[in-house]
Amino acid sequence: MAKGLLKTVAVVGMMGAGKTAVGKAIAQRLDVPFLDSDAEIEEAADRTIAEIFERDGEAFFRQKETQVIGRLLQDERCILSTGGGAFMSAENRALIADNGVAVWLQADLDILWQRVRHKNTRPLLQTDNPYETLKSLVAQRDPIYAHAGLVVHAEPDLSIDDMANKVIEALVEHGGIIKETP
């Protein structure tokens, strides 16, 4: 039996949690569109997130992020990967709750650090001590991410496909998100 997506699933969590990779795998399994709010913002602005942060500042970026998320949530049901800071906005949390369900890919600091430490595309980590910055962001954000409708813990030894399966199982158990279709 195939599975039908009844609501948009917004994948939230820290940078490096696997939102894009796992989100794409979920979308492929469920045969629904995959959208990435950061990619949509970059396309609309014709510049990278880092360039937007540098030129226009984080406040401007967050404003555009909310506009894009609102627009994407109005489109067809999909898997939507959001930027790491998107869920910090009460407005974004309300938009997601009203139009879908948030799934937090919860990952431990060590996993996140292993995944982001060699990347220079993370504007918030362009600091003198990126590890401490990441640690601080995790401490600030985890209590907010905990408001997501579902929490799925990322395990270091799970493949992207295994994580996608874990999320799909959580969505099925949650009810009202995925239905079996003949």
pLDDT digits (tens, 9 = 90+) for 87-130: 999 999 999 999 999 999 999 999 988 888 777 666 666 767 88
* Residue 149 known to bind ligand: no
Answering whether pTM is above 0.75, one says yes
Q: Is 2 exposed, middle or buried (0-12, 13-18, 19+ CB in 10 A)?
A: exposed
Consult the annotation and say whether 84 binds a ligand: yes
> Does the annotation list 141 as a binding residue?
yes
Instruction: Tell me: is residue 93 an annotated ligand-binding position.
Output: no
**CATH number of the domain enclosing 107:** 3.40.50.300
If one counts the domains in the chain, the total is: 1
Instruction: Give residue 139's domain range.
Output: 2-181
Please tell me whether 142 is known to bind a ligand.
no
Annotated binding residue 135: no
pLDDT digits (tens, 9 = 90+) for 26-76: 999 999 999 999 999 999 889 988 889 889 988 899 999 999 999 999 877
Determine whether the annotation assigns residue 18 to a binding site.
yes
Is 17 marked as a binding-site residue? Answer: yes
